[in-house]
Amino acid sequence: MKSNKFRKTVLTLGLGIALLGTTFVFSAPGAEDDPLVSLSYLDKRIEELESNIDKKLATIMDSTENEQTSSLEVVKISAGQSIIGQNGTEIILRGGKAKTIAGELGGLSDVTMGKDLKMDEQVPSNHLLIIPRDDGRGVHAIEDAIFMVRGKYEVR
């Protein structure tokens, strides 16, 4: 009696497992009859993606065309004049003497020395200075000076 019950239980479990296995094997998600995603939906999403990519590329191209200040420009200023740069402007003193014009939140980044130059510090010759913020920072010529400048600036 026990072995007969055991056989029926094992046979029932075996059939159940086989039935679940065939259901799993023969169910084809995404078949032609039952697609997971319709072709029109996919085409619509691809068009949106292409449009977004084109917009981003156009924005990048416009910004790179507007930033054609990638070459260094030689700027000569007289004693008493100043060069005030916008954020990211690079300045190198090539001749003469100048001092820094700092902002409320700090000075100019001297990349060559790895130092922040505070207000009225002497600008070292041939050091790359970067203006980190657009808040009126720059350099002031003590005597006639020659600078190499990359970026947007104003002579005052």
Beta-strand ranges (E) seen in 15-80 are 73-77
Q: Which CATH number is correct for 73-155, 2.60.120.10, 2.40.10.170, 3.40.50.11030, 3.40.50.1100? A: 2.60.120.10
pLDDT digit string, tens, across residues 23-47: 655 555 566 666 677 788 888 889 9
What is the spatial order of strands in the sheet that 153-155 belongs to?
Answer: 98-101, 138-141, 82-85, 153-155
Q: Where exactly are the structural domains of the chain?
A: 38-68, 73-155
Is the pLDDT assigned to residue 2 strictly greater than 80? no
pLDDT reported for residue 9:
81
- Would the pTM of this model clear 0.85, i.e. be above it? no
pLDDT digit string, tens, across residues 45-82: 899 999 888 888 888 877 665 555 578 999 999 999 99
Least confident stretch, 12-16, 106-110, 144-148: 12-16
Instruction: Give the residue among 126, 152, 156 at the shortest CA–CA distance from 70.
Output: 152
**Average pLDDT score over the chain:** 85
Amino acid at 132: P
In sequence order, the β-bridge partners of residue 76 are 146
Beta-strand ranges (E) seen in the chain are 73-77, 82-85, 90-95, 98-101, 108-110, 115-117, 128-130, 138-141, 145-150, 153-155
More confident residue, 155 or 25: 155
Q: Do 129 and 153 contact (CB within 8 A), yes or no?
A: no
What is the percentage of the chain residues whose pLDDT exceeds 90?
Answer: 53
